Structure 1
């Protein structure tokens, strides 16, 4: 199956596109490049709790988007890894970078009247702390962590919660993610799902097989799908 690819980095809003009122972003791999930090934190946690040997970070990355304890259960690893993983993630947070083009995208979306939210596999406090350090927190009306909903991704609860908080109907929103769990969460909530490829996943085929509505090569490509929200008169 072929998926539509937006490939116009400087595209203005397409007037034929249904107007979106909200954009829900995943965090890691979409807004921030945190893979090096996650890899180091995961290796330290694995060494402390499991013991010597190579930490299976490649497998861990396949499950990104899920809540950390859920990933540990899937991988049959001790839940005790969460404490050192979180500790090291906080310690290394200054090494996390914002992807090129994200700041410009957020500025433009705000000018166009979009409501923005984050729905992340991280806990809410961790996500808000990181976004605050990076100066991005003010862009988002709400930041929702996996610990703040009954069922985290790939369940739709997080997206439903974002829609409720933003006051937006599903057909007026789009979610941007880089993992199959993001796509599944959006689809379960009836929200358009966009696959982000600016941080290429280990298995692009797996991401595309999840059935995103659109594939984005770079952050600015989203602008063609998000015309300005009409002013209320």
Structure 2
């Protein structure tokens, strides 16, 4: 699914004076993969199976994007039993989920420069790794961590700190790249540079109001913050 171009200012801010950046931690949905259409369909099927007739409240679900699915169900007052059909349908339709334009090029370039990379996602770890494997980019990441693999999911910093522990990179040399406020909160509390993306088609104004350190409007913009090949 394509999204209309963002109307926000496309001028890149200067890199924060914290680097050099040696690691980039990415959120998955809305940043690396354009999964909105598949998630809407999976959510609608799960709602119909567990709750019954009527329109599935996907727009409300979408406002909680980035959180672990059971946590979203609790916040929305929906049955936790929706998780099983939602996950089932998400796996079934995984082949329909594309990478955002420019993501593969960016990941390959960062990998070639020696930048360590991880995924810190609201998805479960197995589902995230399966999707990235289907897309042929799993081997570009040093670590993929799901919300089911940390004690406290986003907006707590645990998942970002866990990623940095695996990457063996201190927070002051790392970025957290996300499309949701909870990504920024998680990254900020972990002590990393927070990067907001605008290519997901969501509410950019809300994201910018959270005060990210950096705003990027295309995946390739990240390359400006990791310009040099790094020695491990």
TM exceeds 0.5?
yes
Quote the Cα distance in structure 1 between the aligned partners of 2:18 and 2:170.
16
What's the counterpart of residue 144 of structure 1?
145
| Paired residue total | 224
- Is 2:57 the counterpart of 1:56? yes
- The 3 A distance-change label for structure 1 pair 164 and 193 is same
| Equivalent-residue separation in structure 1 for 2:190 and 2:9 (angstroms) | 21
> Equivalent residue for 1:226?
226
Q: Once the 2 structures are TM-superposed, how far is the Cα of residue 18 of structure 1 from its aligned partner?
A: 2.7
SS of residue in 1 equivalent to 2:119: strand
Give how far 1:230 is off.
3.8
Which residue in 2 is equivalent to 1:165? 166
User: CA offset at residue 150 of structure 1?
Assistant: 0.1
Work out whether residues 43 and 86 of structure 2, in 8 Å CA contact, stay in contact via their aligned partners in 1.
yes
Is 1:210 equivalent to 2:224 in the alignment? no
Q: Distance in 2 between matches of 1:231 and 1:102?
A: 23
Residue pair 1:4, 1:214 contacting (<8 A) in 2 also = no
Q: 1:122 to 1:149 in 2, by over 3 A?
A: same
Segments of 5+ residues of structure 1 without an aligned counterpart are 9-13
2:20 corresponds to: 19
Contact 1:192 1:213 in 2 (8 A): yes
Aligned-partner Cα distance in 2 for 1:230–1:135: 24
- Structure 1 residues 169 and 5: CA distance shift in structure 2, 3 A: farther
Q: Equivalents in 1 of 2:143, 2:103: separation in Å?
A: 17
TM-score by length of 1: 0.92
- Give distance in 2, aligned partners of 1:231 and 1:34: 34
Give the Cα separation in 2 of the matches to 1:128 and 1:174: 21
1:231 deviation in Å? Answer: 2.8
Choose between structure 1 and 2 for higher RCO, CA contacts under 8 A separated by at least 6 residues. 1
What does residue range 69-218 of structure 1 map to in structure 2 within 5 Å?
A: 69-201=70-202, 203-218=203-218
Cα separation, 1, equivalents of 2:230 and 2:145:
27
Q: Partner of 1:19: helix, strand, or coil?
A: coil
TM-score by length of 2: 0.92
Does the CA-based 8 Å contact 1:6-1:221 persist in structure 2? no
- Per the TM alignment, residue 227 of structure 1 is displaced from its structure 2 partner at its CA by 2.2
CA distance in structure 2 between the partners assigned to 1:55 and 1:179 by the alignment? 22
RMSD: 1.9
Once the two structures are superposed, residues 10-34 of structure 1 have per-residue CA deviations (whole angstroms, 9 ceiling, x without a partner) of xxxx8x8831000000000000000
